[in-house]
Structure 1
Amino acid sequence: MPTRILPAVGDTDAVRSVTTLLSQLPDAEPVSPVVDSTQLIDTLARLAAESVDELPEVVIVHERIGPVPALELIREVALRFPAVGVILVTSDASPGLFQAAMDYGARGLVALPLSYEELASRVQAVAQWSVGVRRHLGAGGDVFTGVGGTVVTVSGAKGGVGVTLTAIQLALAAQASGRSTALVDLDLQTGDVASYLDVQFRRSVVDLAAITDISPRVLADAVFRHDTGLALLLAPAEGERGEDVTDRAARQIVSALRSRYEVVVIDCGAQIGGAGAAAVEMADRALLVTTPDVVAVRGAKRAVRMWDRLQIRKAEETTIVVNRHSRGTEIQPPLIQKITGTAVAATAVPANFKELQSVVDAGRVHELENKSAVKQALWGLAAELGLVKVPEGAQKAGRFRGGDRGSVSLRRRREG
């Protein structure tokens, strides 16, 4: 089977040089080159919309591509199209750049001026890797094999604001609507997802930290399949082991999850370390949970400013979720939006701990009743974020409103 190779080269002379060599490779099927980063992403998205099998096995990114820098472009391709192998062509073949390219998701590096032997060797190796990934994905049965799932991180303005409950209910809503969903506990020292869901487990996210190439089989061995259908990747029972999960490991883990699940919800806790920061940076939606009180809102503002300083996330790209909201509080969502400079979710979660206490104490928050105002709000938030697959005509009929939200999910599953 021919290897399809898509060159992304902005320089005219480089285009000529790359395409000439590619045309000489055995079993190669070069695709017409794209000249900038935007055209590359658009081309891959169009092909992926038809079928994952339509994507090229190999993409070659020249160091002078623009307007997005080459490494940033490689990261985006690796995240959005995880079965495509990327090779960086560069005049800087130093160990430092090689390591950076690997961290950003490249599968190989070829030095300029181009050598036929080196290019042929790297293309062959990367093509074999791509074919292997697609074979594993195809054998997964119910595995999602789309362009890339939606990643949502849930962080806290401070401890105790309801991050874990929010993350769990968002994941449950997505799963119940028919989307394959993974819930990840990246609160590495103090994560409580397992306690909230009454789970006894042996494997955790730490088991993936030292693995360079996370295959579908390795990932499947590390996750815990909950009774609700959620795939759980849990924090270690021994908090000190969380230090093994570096930012690089977190990137690889999130990328692997994105390639296999339609929705990935990540509980980052209130203390963001390197792994959590990497997850927030990679997320499609980054939520910051706060309660409507001075201390928590100050914490939210502090977190938003820190993310901006560290170039993790811009304020306008962060969404505040207001938990334990009531109309009588002095601090209302519009004021929080003004103070933090973020977006604020239209759905606020009401203050009603009485209806939560029994399921929280029992570690059975997945059994929270459908009539619960808190559950209705959180599942409404999931719909607002686009995590819920809404049955055709349901929105028009008002079936995803109020207490009927849970019954819609059950009805849909019976009908399926």
Structure 2
Amino acid sequence: MTTRILPAVGDADAARSVTTLLSQLPDAEPAAPVADSTTLLDTLARLAGESLDELPEVVLVHERIGPVPALELIREVALRFPAVGVVLVTADASPGLYSAAMDSGARGLVALPLSYEELTQRVQAAASWSLGVRRHLGAGGDVFTGPGGTVLTVSGAKGGVGTTLTAVHLALAARASGMTTALVDMDLQAGDVASYLDAPFRRSIVDLAGIQDISPRVLQDAVFSHDTGIGLLLAPGEGERGEEVNDRAVRQIVSALRNRYEVVVVDCGTQMNSANAAAIEMADTTLLVTTPDVVAVRAAKRMVRLWDRLQIRKAEETVTLVNRFIRNTEIQPALIERITGTRVARTSVPANFKELQASVDAGRMQDLEAKSSVKQALWGLAGELGIVKAPESRDKAGRFRGDRGSIGVRRRRGDKGES
């Protein structure tokens, strides 16, 4: 049987060397190498979306792949595509690295410089393991095999622009339409998601930060099942503990949530750190919330430029939401789009805080009346972003209002799309 192999090698010389040797393996069908972690994950997601059978049996990950480090990339591939055998190619064949690679989900390790015998042995072992998993899945095993749910991050241009309110209602809209939904509070020092939904504090994202392998049971213990049906992963009660959540932990946590939920909404707050930067880089859609005033729009522009310098998100890959919009304001959405270089959502949220006051004070945003113009706008935005099951979907009370347009859904880095 032919073994399909997908090499992920960033260095051009190393890629040629790997490809040449792979072409000599018996019954091997090597694909063209991918040059970075983003392309690898996008390629696997596309193939998995077509069929489990389209996935390669083996993925080779070179130690100098980037921007995601090799071990973190292996962990994400293993979590999202468990039917693929991953082999690490590295110059460091020490027992310590071997153990770390196995803990991350690798099925083998090949030392540099490459040898035909060792490469053949490791590839065949990984392929045999992959085929065994696929036979199990074909027999009805309950193992996730698809490209995963949609991850949407919500960030604020500055404090007070309505970031958490937006994230909460997008999650409520997704859940009301029938999507399994998680809401993550990654405003690690000052998260308020629990306050908006009257949720008791039990566990937080910090409880997952030090765990190397987040199993479904471990994830279930950390996520609070809210009365609305949303799974809540809250920020720590003590803000200083937010420092325990680093980018590695976030990649693992978001990957685990993506595997369990159809929609994952992440409230990233307004402060940039390595944790929410990792979430924004992993997101299918990034939403930036601003208000139509000079200070907020300038802050939005600074944030977009910061993301671009950090190479985590390009301006044209970002969707901007204009909150507290007034029709006669001088700063209109078209101007914000030109200033920030982002795509401004067709839906704007009107300035009508009086509608929200009672629900905000009670800490029960889920009770906001269906006739609220703010709720209608935010739930319409959920339809525009494509995180609801169907644009016309309604909850049991018939209150959902969608939008026929869709922007940003499952759009990866490099896909321009149309606004």
TM category (shorter chain) comes to: 0.7 to 0.9
Change (3 A) 1:80 1:348: farther
Q: Structure 2 counterpart of 1:218, which letter?
A: V
CA distance in 1 between partners of 2:85 and 2:248 (Å): 18
Query: How far did residue 215 of structure 1 move?
Result: 1.5
Query: How far did residue 387 of structure 1 move?
Result: 0.5
TM-score by length of 2: 0.78
Tell me, which stretches of 5 or more residues in structure 2 are unaligned?
Answer: 403-419
* Conservation of the 8 A alpha-carbon contact between 2:290 and 2:321: yes
Q: Structure 1 counterpart of 2:243, which letter?
A: E
Change (3 A) 1:363 1:125: farther
Match of 2:7 in 1: 8
188-197 or 171-180, which moves further after superposition? 171-180
Superposition pairs of residues 272-287 of structure 1, within 5 angstroms: 272-287=272-287
Change (3 A) 1:134 1:291: farther
Match of 1:17 in 2: 21
Tell me, which stretches of 5 or more residues in structure 1 are unaligned?
Answer: 24-29, 409-416
Query: How far did residue 88 of structure 1 move?
Result: 3.2
Query: How far did residue 219 of structure 1 move?
Result: 1.1
* Conservation of the 8 A alpha-carbon contact between 1:157 and 1:303: yes
Match of 1:292 in 2: 292
* Conservation of the 8 A alpha-carbon contact between 2:45 and 2:146: no
CA distance in 2 between partners of 1:188 and 1:69 (Å): 24
Question: 1:119-146: CA deviations, max 9, x gaps?
Answer: 746875897699789989x9997x9752
Change (3 A) 1:307 1:135: farther
Question: 1:358-398: CA deviations, max 9, x gaps?
Answer: 1111110011111111111011111111111117xx4xxxx
Q: Structure 2 counterpart of 1:354, which letter?
A: K
Change (3 A) 1:60 1:3: farther
CA distance in 1 between partners of 2:134 and 2:192 (Å): 33
Match of 2:271 in 1: 271
Query: How far did residue 229 of structure 1 move?
Result: 0.9
Query: How far did residue 48 of structure 1 move?
Result: 2.2
Superposition pairs of residues 202-281 of structure 1, within 5 angstroms: 202-281=202-281
TM-score by length of 1: 0.78
* Conservation of the 8 A alpha-carbon contact between 1:80 and 1:147: no
2:32 to 31, 35, 38: 35
- 3-state SS of the aligned residue for 1:240? helix
Query: How far did residue 51 of structure 1 move?
Result: 4.3
Change (3 A) 1:140 1:254: farther
* Conservation of the 8 A alpha-carbon contact between 1:52 and 1:147: no
CA distance in 1 between partners of 2:168 and 2:7 (Å): 40
CA distance in 2 between partners of 1:170 and 1:219 (Å): 22
- 3-state SS of the aligned residue for 1:37? coil
CA distance in 1 between partners of 2:378 and 2:205 (Å): 26
- 3-state SS of the aligned residue for 1:366? helix
How many residue pairs end up in the alignment? 383
CA distance in 2 between partners of 1:407 and 1:191 (Å): 28
Higher fraction of helix: 1
RMSD of aligned alpha carbons: 4.0
Match of 2:77 in 1: 78
CA distance in 2 between partners of 1:239 and 1:194 (Å): 14
CA distance in 1 between partners of 2:69 and 2:281 (Å): 15
* Conservation of the 8 A alpha-carbon contact between 2:7 and 2:34: yes
